[in-house]
């Protein structure tokens, strides 16, 4: 199957700082990637759809100025959590699909802890 | 918003037994997928079933889909301790543009 790599796997940052998470499709080009957030023992909530070369589409209730998404190339999308607060601590996961494909390939996830 | 509901929320069985998890959804779908997640890790895709399919098999996994009831089930036969994980269903609808909507998940514990 295809490989989606997410980096870093774990990050601890101080309140008020910004953190960037990368999502790369290693062996295919992805015009669309998706960012999810998962709280402990809960399901995945879609945050936004990352579109290569255009603005991301955010789900209702997700602050676009807080969670900046950039999809600058066909293999890379980044999520930047700006001015992080402890309540932003969560597990963030990205996914990507091959063009025309139906299966989503997920990254390993990033555990963000804001102290 | 999440449209999938799974039951049970938690399931504990002995090694060798079968495990059945159910997923219900609310709107029309193109396909339904099942994923596995080990604690604190990413998702692993298990199986995809399309809206025009009723049953699929993959190794020890059997998935059924009943679009009239808007429900799906995942059966794991002859369970192993290594099957201990959380299992999620995810649906993709005609207008979802490729994004998945996840159910709440079932936490499966298989005791050796």
pLDDT tens digits, A36-53: 999 888 889 999 999 888
What is the chain A residue with the closest CA to B4? Answer: A43
B14 SS3 class: strand
**pLDDT tens digit sequence for A1-11:** 678 999 999 99
Q: Are A32 and B98 in contact (CB under 8 A)?
A: yes
Sign of the torsion angle spanned by Cα atoms B43, B47, B48, B51? negative
Predicted local confidence at residue B1, as pLDDT: 35
DSSP-based three-state secondary structure for A86: helix
Q: Nearest residue of B to residue A109 by CA position?
A: B42
Residue B89 distance to chain A (closest CA, Å): 10
Mutating which of A104, A108, A111 best tests the B interface, going by the most B Cβ atoms within 10 A?
Answer: A104
Whether residue A106 and residue B2 make contact (CB cut-off 8 A), yes or no, is no
| Nearest in space to B79 (alpha carbons), one of B14, B11, B3, B7 | B14
What does chain B come to in residues?
Answer: 112
Inter-residue contact A3 to A96 (CB < 8 Å): no
Q: Does A54 touch chain B (CB under 8 A)?
A: no
pLDDT tens profile B19-41: 999 999 998 998 999 999 998 78
Contact B41 A107 (CB under 8 A): no
8 Å CB contact between A67 and A80: yes
């Amino acid at each position: 199957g295809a490989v989606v790599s997410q980096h870093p796997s774990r990050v601890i940052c101080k309140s008020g700082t910004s953190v960037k998470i990368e999502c790369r499709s290693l062996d295919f080009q992805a015009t669309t990637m998706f960012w999810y957030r998962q709280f402990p023992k809960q399901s995945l909530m879609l945050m936004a759809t990352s579109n290569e070369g255009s603005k991301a589409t955010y789900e209702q209730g997700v602050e676009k100025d807080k969670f900046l998404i950039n999809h600058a190339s066909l293999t890379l999308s980044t999520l930047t959590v700006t001015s992080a607060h402890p309540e932003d601590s969560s597990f963030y996961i990205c996914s990507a699909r091959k063009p025309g494909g139906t299966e989503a390939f997920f990254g390993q996830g990033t555990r963000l802890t804001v102290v | 918003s999440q449209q999938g509901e799974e039951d049970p929320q938690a399931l504990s069985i002995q090694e060798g037994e079968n495990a059945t998890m159910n997923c219900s959804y609310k709107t029309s779908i193109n396909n339904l997928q099942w994923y596995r997640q080990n604690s604190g890790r990413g998702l692993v895709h298990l199986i995809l079933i399309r809206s025009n399919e009723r049953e699929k098999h993959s190794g020890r996994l059997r998935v059924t889909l009943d679009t009239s009831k808007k429900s799906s089930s995942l059966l794991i036969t002859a369970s192993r301790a290594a099957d201990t994980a959380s299992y999620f269903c995810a649906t993709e609808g005609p207008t979802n543009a490729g994004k998945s909507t996840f159910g709440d998940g079932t936490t499966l514990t298989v005791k050796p």
